[in-house]
Amino acid sequence: MPPIQRPKLAVGGFTEALALETAPFGVKVTALEPGGMRTSWGKRASADIPALLPDYEPSVGAMIRQLKGLWGLETGDPARLRR
């Protein structure tokens, strides 16, 4: 069985554990875990990435290039959130 991808595992995992503990008392626990939000953070944060050592380029470099292609395309729209 593949691992479950949970980027917010600290909050989600704690909430699930808490829900199991409180269920016998009739207490229900829920957490809202928002997805990615389209901002300029990724582009700003990656502006000063130092050159990678050659040994890291194949793996880390590929991951950085892939992420750079996705930054700014997240589905969450900050303008719609403000409403």
Q: What is the pLDDT of residues 62-77, one digit of tens each?
A: 888 888 888 877 777 7
All structural domains of the chain with their residue ranges: 1-34, 36-74
Residue 69 Rama label (left phi>0; alpha psi -120 to 50; beta): alpha
Helices (H) and strands (E) in the chain, counts: 4, 0
Average pLDDT over residues 19-45: 86
Cβ atoms of 38 and 75 within 8 Å: the answer is yes
Average pLDDT over residues 16-38: 88
Across-strand partners of 37? 76
Q: What is the pLDDT of residue 5?
A: 53
Residue 58 has pLDDT above 50, yes or no: yes
Q: What is the pLDDT of residue 8?
A: 57
Q: Tell me which of 77 and 21 has the higher pLDDT.
A: 21
d(CA 47, CA 44): 5
DSSP H helical segments within the chain, as ranges?
A: 9-22, 41-45, 62-70, 78-81
pLDDT classification of 35: cutoffs 50, 70, 90: confident
pLDDT classification of 26: cutoffs 50, 70, 90: very high
Residue type, 39: T
